[in-house]
Amino acid sequence: MKSPFIKAVAENMKMRRYAKRTIESYVHWIKAFILFNQKKHPTQCHDKEVEQFLSHLANNRNVAPKTQALALNAIVYLYKEFLDNPLTLDLKYNRTSAQPKLPVVLTPEETALLLKNIPAPVSLPIQLLYASGLRLMEVVRLRVQDIDLDYLSIQIWHGKGGKHRRVTLAKELVEPLKKQVAAAQLYYQQDIHSTQYAGVYLPYAMALKFPNAEKEFNWHYLFPSARLSMDPSVQLYRRHHVHESNLQKAVRETSKAVAINKPVTCHTLRHSFATHLLQRGADIRTVQEQLGHSDLRTTQIYTHVLQAGANCVRSPYSDL
């Protein structure tokens, strides 16, 4: 059972509208920090103990740079936002020095082969990963009203970093999306007449702001789960979105079945979307906006894998 302190930390993050997965990750690393310090209360620890913990992650657990950064973010939140005792900006700890890997990118031919052979039940959401460059959770969390067929675009709300953006929608997916909306409506008609049905889950305080929205069709998930599930907060049933593991498994198994000799994941399709856009002459800032990157340097990594060479530089040897 969670300690009262950990429960209070989690409730504080909920109040600040942190994403559910962020709360889970932060709680995990705050608990790890407390256990590392022999369960000493965080108010009795500060810079020195944080430096030792972060160095331990690098030296003894050999975690990836992003993992160490996530642990730091969790502890910074704990001291700055919850305990109101911010850490020193100049922490001295051993940083994980391993360089991040370049993204795995499929060729257009490999992409077409993969998408053609994806099982039908999850074909459309996986096609959207590539067609619109979406993250896995952005796809499964799409609501019916997020699809704008008039302007061939998709609205992404509260993406990574809490940002909103509008991305492109391939015209070839218009008809499949219309069929998916019709399929989602069948589930909706089945659920809405049940007295146990609590409506769709709404994030943050939206359920209070829009009291009727949870029963309105446009707020329901575009890719609903095949079964209802109990919402423990209200002890009533809701229909959640399709589970992301279904998409992950389909991509992994299909890539092996069609003999693509690369480590292919759902995120590989997002990498491929960005790289293929750049190959077709798209401006890097346009690609940045489509992907929802805050920093252009994050987008620039895709220039490193283009066929023209590192950073799209053409070797003078080719002109000899």
Q: Given a cut of 70, is residue 95 above it in pLDDT? A: yes
Q: Given a cut of 70, is residue 305 above it in pLDDT? A: no
Q: Given a cut of 50, is residue 317 above it in pLDDT? A: no
pLDDT for 287: 87
Provide the whole-model pTM.
Answer: 0.81
Across the strands, what pairs with 153?
148, 168
pLDDT digits (tens, 9 = 90+) for 282-302: 888 888 889 988 888 888 877
Q: Given a cut of 90, is residue 247 above it in pLDDT? A: yes
CATH architecture of 4-82: Orthogonal Bundle (1.10)
CA distance 289 to 133: 11
Query: Interior CA angle at 171 toward 112 and 189, to 5°?
Result: 105
Other Cβ atoms less than 10 A from the Cβ of 282: the count is 13
pLDDT for 48: 94
Closest CA to 91 of 122, 45, 50: 50
Which residues carry out catalysis? 135, 160, 267, 270, 293, 302
CA distance 82 to 27: 12
Q: Where, residue-wise, is CATH 1.10.150.130 in the chain?
A: 4-82
Distances (CA, A) of 216 to 144, 166, 185, 223: 10, 23, 11, 16
